[in-house]
Amino acid sequence: MGTPRSGTNLAKYLIETHLGMPVSFDQGFWKHGVFPALMKGRALQYGDLPIIVMSKDPITQLLSWFRFSRNDSIFRPAKYLGPFLNQPFEIRQDFTQPKMEYRFRTPADYWNQFYFAMEALRRTGAPVHFVSYEQLVSTPALCLSSISGFLDLSPPFDAGTAVTIPRHAIGASNDIDRPSDPAVNQGPFDPARADLAAALA
């Protein structure tokens, strides 16, 4: 799980490629959605799956969303950064029928609600593991080793293994509209986009 543009698709690619584990998006609740309080009596429901949460530096994340909003994406289009940061933030699921829409006071409000809810879920004892996008891009083997420990894989992934970040961007995916080739119609992957300066471009 993670907010849009936080590295969920890259993490999925690396986990499936190097750990041999299938990654499920959108089972029980949407990968970009704020975690809902699903209940069964007094028990909290989370899908009975381990949850890996991708996070990106919040300032870089907000700037990435602004850039993304100019491309007729799942966000309401925005022309200027100032109003984008201060106006209500709308996000829509792009594959459900009918399409669900969510509204937050600001983009920062969405970021805060998303990650606070996942941290709160982790504190209940649910299997939640946070991975930083910036660390995944800069030290992928170390991150995969940490993920394999979280998933209790045997043997664990060796942090000394050479892991190459794909040279192409990874296409967005969900559990319903899976592309046959995640690299189709994608441009080159640029790890520098994890940097704040790149987010301003």
Residuewise pLDDT in 10s, the chain (201 residues): 788 888 888 999 999 999 999 988 766 565 666 666 555 666 666 667 888 899 999 999 899 888 887 776 667 777 888 988 999 888 776 655 566 677 889 999 988 988 888 898 888 888 999 999 999 999 999 999 999 999 999 999 999 999 998 887 776 665 444 554 544 445 555 555 545 445 454
Return the closest-CA partner of residue 1 out of 29, 38, 39, 36.
29
Contact yes or no for 90/76 (Cβ under 8 A): yes
Residue 124 within a domain: yes
CATH number at residue 39: 3.40.50
Total domains, the chain: 1
Contact yes or no for 118/128 (Cβ under 8 A): yes
Write the Ramachandran bin of 165: left for phi over 0, alpha for psi from -120 to 50, otherwise beta.
beta
Q: Residue 128: which domain range?
A: 8-200
Alpha-carbon gap, residue 100 to 135, rounded angstroms: 32
Distance from the Cα of residue 139 to its chain's centroid:
17
pTM above 0.85, yes or no: no
